[in-house]
């Protein structure tokens, strides 16, 4: 099975900061990589699919990049609504459709 490792596991940042979250796959997943945002007590929400395509309705401050084994989610200017946990997911080799362990973004 492909393992997905996110870093960092958590980070503290201020409104307006540029935030970068990394996701690394244990083997190539091509661009079959998605990013989700989850707020406490809520269901995950799709942010980016196919590594770099922004889901409709998602603010343009979110962007994704990468291919193969190394991927990045960037928030260009952190907003109060962005404090949440972010998960990457690979769907290249499935089953299983593996998620990363999550990165919690909280207020500094």
Partner 1 sequence: EELVESGGGWVQSGGSLRLSCAASGFTFSIYSMNWVRQAPGKGLEWVSYISSSSSIIFYADSVKGRFTISRDNAKNSLYLQMNSLRVEDTAVYYCARDVSRCSSSTCYENWFDPWGQGTLVTVSS
**How remote is the C-alpha of 99 from its chain's centroid?**
10
Q: Are 47 and 37 in contact (CB under 8 A)?
A: yes
Query: Does 31 engage in binding with partner 1 (CB under 8 A)?
Result: yes
Query: Does 20 engage in binding with partner 1 (CB under 8 A)?
Result: no
Nearer to partner 1 among residue 17 and residue 93 (C-beta): 93
- Secondary structure letter of residue 100 according to DSSP: P
Nearest to 31 by CA among 69, 79, 84, 74: 69
Q: Where in 38-97 is the site for partner 1 (CB under 8 A)?
A: 38, 42-46, 49-50, 55, 87, 89, 91, 94-97
Question: Which residues of this chain interact with partner 1, rule CB under 8 A?
Answer: 31-32, 34, 36, 38, 42-46, 49-50, 55, 87, 89, 91, 94-102
């Amino acid at each position: 099975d492909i393992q997905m490792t996110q870093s960092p596991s958590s980070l503290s940042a201020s409104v307006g900061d540029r935030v970068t979250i990394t996701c690394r796959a244990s083997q190539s997943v091509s661009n079959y990589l998605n990013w989700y945002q989850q707020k406490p007590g809520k269901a995950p929400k799709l942010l980016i699919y196919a590594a770099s395509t922004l889901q409709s309705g998602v603010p343009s401050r979110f962007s994704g990049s990468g291919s193969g084994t190394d991927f990045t989610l960037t928030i260009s200017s952190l907003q109060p609504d962005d404090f949440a946990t972010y998960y990457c997911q690979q769907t290249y080799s499935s089953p299983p459709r593996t998620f990363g362990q999550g990165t919690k973004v909280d207020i500094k």
